[in-house]
């Protein structure tokens, strides 16, 4: 999973997911 | 207003009342409040977290500030590893600035009740990399994992498997 631009110089990378059931 | 209130989370008044800076919610219509909460994150919990609505769905988005994270050697006692400057580009009062460590480990924890029920969530790590940063290229990935603890049904598969992430 690669980091991507988020805006204003910030980056984000997906760490994982979950279902809040 | 009756219609727009249905788009707001059931506990929105409780969340607003706990905001760091008073939100004049009484002066806003439900529609204005919905747009305010989706356009501009609200600092809650003494400013350690932010709360926002996803505009297209009304689902809750929570961001933990760096002060709310457990960062190895990031307790402020070793500023040559981690420093805690103010950052005008951040919604939070302070950010964690990495100078250099031989072991990089960060944990974040939050109550899942803060989030919208029956909703699929993705957790992101948000950061800035300086032009002269090193140690984060394609050959040096980090391990990332999201776990859900203490579910009433005991379902431990509610979380994702460990993955490799590349900050650079």
Give the separation between CA A17 and CA B35, rounded to whole angstroms: 26
CB contacts < 8 A (A, B) = 90
Do you know the residue count of chain A?
21
pLDDT tens digit sequence for B28-86 = 999 999 999 999 999 999 999 999 999 999 999 999 999 999 999 999 899 999 999 99
Confidence band, pLDDT 50/70/90 cuts, at residue B156: low
**Pick among B61, B165, B167, B168 to test the A interface (most A CBs inside 10 A):** B165
Given a cut of 60, is residue B17 above it in pLDDT? yes
- The predicted pLDDT at position B127 comes to 97
**Angle, CA B19 vertex, CA B18 and CA B22 arms, to 5°:** 115
Confidence band, pLDDT 50/70/90 cuts, at residue B25: confident
Handedness of CA B24, B29, B32, B37 (dihedral sign): positive
- The predicted pLDDT at position B137 comes to 80
Give the separation between CA B129 and CA B118, rounded to whole angstroms: 34
Chain A residues with CB under 8 Å of a chain B CB are 1-3, 6, 8-21
Q: Which of residues 49-108 of B touch A (CB under 8 A)?
A: 89
Give the separation between CA B84 and CA B94, rounded to whole angstroms: 6
Give the separation between CA A3 and CA A8, rounded to whole angstroms: 14
Chain B hits for A19, CB-CB cut-off 8 Å, are 119-121, 158
């Amino acid at each position: 999973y690669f980091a991507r631009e988020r805006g204003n110089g910030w980056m984000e990378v997906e760490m994982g997911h979950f279902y809040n059931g | 207003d009756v219609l727009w209130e249905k788009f707001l989370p059931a506990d929105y008044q409780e969340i607003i009342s706990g905001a760091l800076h008073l939100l004049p919610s009484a002066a806003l219509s439900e529609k204005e409040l919905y747009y305010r909460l989706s356009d501009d994150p609200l600092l809650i919990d003494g400013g350690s977290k932010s709360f926002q609505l996803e505009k297209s769905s009304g689902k809750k988005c929570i961001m933990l500030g760096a002060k709310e994270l457990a960062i190895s050697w990031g307790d402020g006692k070793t500023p040559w590893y981690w420093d805690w400057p103010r950052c005008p580009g951040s919604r939070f009062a302070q950010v964690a600035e990495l100078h250099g460590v031989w072991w990089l480990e960060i944990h974040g924890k939050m109550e899942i009740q803060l989030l919208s029920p029956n909703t699929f969530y993705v957790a992101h790590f948000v950061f800035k990399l300086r032009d002269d940063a090193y140690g984060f290229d394609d050959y040096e990935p980090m391990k990332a994992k999201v776990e859900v603890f203490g579910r009433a049904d005991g379902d431990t598969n509610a979380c994702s498997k460990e993955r490799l992430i590349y900050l650079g």
